[in-house]
Chains A and B, each alone.
Chain A
Amino acid sequence: MKKKSKNTLWAYLCSSPSLILILLIIIFPILYTAYISFTNMNVYHWFDFEFVGLKNYRDALFVFDSGFLSALLRTVLWTVVSMILQLVIAFVLASLLNIQNFRGRRIYKTLLMIPWAMPGYVSILLWKTGMFNSQFGLLNQWLEKLGMNPIRFLAGDVSAFICCSVVNLWLALPFMIMIMDGALQAVDRSCYESAVLDGAGWFQRAVYITIPAIRQIIAPSVLITVFTTFKQFDVVYLLTCQSGARTGANIHTILTYAYENAFITNNYGYSSAISILIFVILIGFSLLTGRRKKER
Chain B
Amino acid sequence: MFRIHFGRLSKRFAAGFLCLTMMVFLLAGCSRQEQEADEGPVTITIWHDKEEEVAAVLQDALNQLAPDIIVKLERKDGLTDSLKMVGNDPNAAPDMYFFAHDKIGVYAEMGILAPITEFLEQDVLDGCIPMTLEAASYKGEVYQLPLYFETLLFMYNRRYMKDEEVPSTTEELYTYMQENTRGGHYGFVEQHSTAYYAAGWLHAFDGYILKEDGEPGLGDEAVLRALEYHKKFVELMPVEGEYATVNTLFREGKAHSTIGGPWLVAAVREAGIDLGIASMPVVEETGKPISPYSGVQGVHVLRVAAEKKHDAVKKVLEALADDSVGTSMARASGCAPARISCYDDPQVAEDDMVMAMYETAQNAEPMPNMPEMDVMWTVAEKLLVDVNMSGKDVRSSAEDAQEQALKLIQQMR
A binding-site residues for B, Cβ under 8 Å? 10, 13-14, 16-18, 20-21, 24, 42-44, 46-47, 59, 129, 133-136, 152, 155, 243-248, 260-262, 264-267, 270
Tell me the bound Cα distance from A59 to B249 in angstroms: 45
Q: How does the 8 Å CB contact mask read for B97-121 relative to A, with 1 for contact and 0 for none?
A: 0000000001001111000000000
Closest residue on chain A to residue B197 by CB atoms: A244
Contact A46-B243, Cβ < 8 Å, known A20-B26, A266-B371: no
Nearest 5 CB-CB pairings of A with B? A245-B242, A17-B22, A248-B389, A46-B110, A246-B385
- In the bound complex, do residue A265 and residue B408 qualify as a contact, i.e. CB atoms below 8 Å apart? yes
Cβ-defined contact, A260 with B378, below 8 A: yes
CB < 8 Å: which of A21, A46, A246 contacts B111? A46
Could you say which residues of chain A place their CB within 8 Å of the CB of B244? 129, 133, 245
A21 CA to B377 CA in the complex, in Å? Answer: 38
Instruction: Give chain B's interface secondary structure class.
Output: helix
Q: Which residues of B362-413 are within 8 A (CB) of A?
A: 371, 374-375, 377-378, 381-382, 385-386, 389-390, 408, 411-413
Could you tell me the distance between the alpha carbons of A147 and B241 in the complex, rounded to whole angstroms? 24
Interface residue tally on B, bucketed by range: 35 or more
Nearest opposing residue in chain A for B412, CB measure: A265
Q: Could you show 5 A-B contacts with beta carbons less than 8 Å apart? A: A17-B22, A43-B110, A46-B84, A47-B110, A261-B408
Question: In angstroms, how far is the closest chain A Cβ from the Cβ of B86?
Answer: 12
Q: Is the CB of B109 within 8 A of A17?
A: no
- Interface contact A152-B412, CB-CB below 8 Å: no
Contacts of A244 in B (CB 8 A): 191, 194, 196, 242-243, 381
Is there contact, CB below 8 Å, between A134 and B16? no
How distant is A277 from chain B, measured CB to nearest CB, in Å?
15
Partner among A59, A129, A155, A270 whose Cβ is within 8 Å of the Cβ of B239: A155
Q: In angstroms, how far is the closest chain B Cβ from the Cβ of A20?
A: 6
Of A13, A133, A243, the residue contacting B377 (CB under 8 A) is A243
- Whether the Cβ atoms of A17 and B240 lie closer than 8 Å is no
B181 at the interface (CB under 8 A from A): no
**Cross-chain contact of A133 among B111, B245, B374 (Cβ < 8 A):** B245
Binary per-residue interface labels of chain B (165-196) against chain A in the complex, 1 for a CB within 8 Å, 0 otherwise: 00000000000000000000000000101101
How many angstroms from the CA of A24 to the CA of B22 in the assembled complex?
14
Closest-by-CB residue of B relative to A270 is B411
Q: Known contacts A46-B111, A264-B375, A265-B408; is A135 also within 8 Å of B242 by CB?
A: no
- Check A152–B12 contact: CB distance below 8 A: no
B238 at the interface (CB under 8 A from A): yes
User: Digit string of B198-215 for contact with A (CB within 8 Å is 1, else 0)?
Assistant: 000000000000000000
* B413 contact set on A, CB distance < 8 A: 42, 44, 267
Complex: how many Å from CA A21 to CA B245?
44
A238: min CB distance to chain B, Å: 11
Chain A residue at minimum C-beta to C-beta distance from B23: A17
Closest to A63 in B: B411
B275 at the interface (CB under 8 A from A): no
Contact call B411/A267, Cβ cutoff below 8 A: yes
Complex CA gap A264/B409 in Å reads: 10
Is B124 part of the binding interface, using a Cβ–Cβ cutoff of 8 Å?
no
Q: Which residues of A contact B63 (CB under 8 A)?
A: none
- How far is it, in angstroms, between the C-alpha of A44 and the C-alpha of B214 when the chains are bound? 14
Do B22 and A247 touch (CB < 8 A)?
no
B389 and A264 within 8 A (CB): no
| B412 x A47 contact (CB < 8 A) | no
For residue B266, CB closer than 8 A to chain A, the reply is no
Chain A residues near B15: list those with CB within 8 A.
10, 14
Among B111, B240, B249, B381, contact of A152 (Cβ-Cβ < 8 Å) = B240
- Give every chain A residue within 8 A of B194 (Cβ-Cβ): 244-245
B368 to chain A, nearest CB (A): 14
A47-B110, A155-B389 in contact; A264/B371 too (CB < 8 A)? no
Interface residues of B in 196-238 (CB under 8 A from A): 196, 238
Kindly state whether residue B137 has any CB partner on chain A within 8 Å: no
Chain A residues with CB under 8 Å of B110's CB are 43, 46-47
Closest to A136 in B: B248
Distance in Å: Cβ of B24 to nearest Cβ of chain A: 9
Contact of A135 among B16, B106, B249, B385 (CB under 8 A): B249
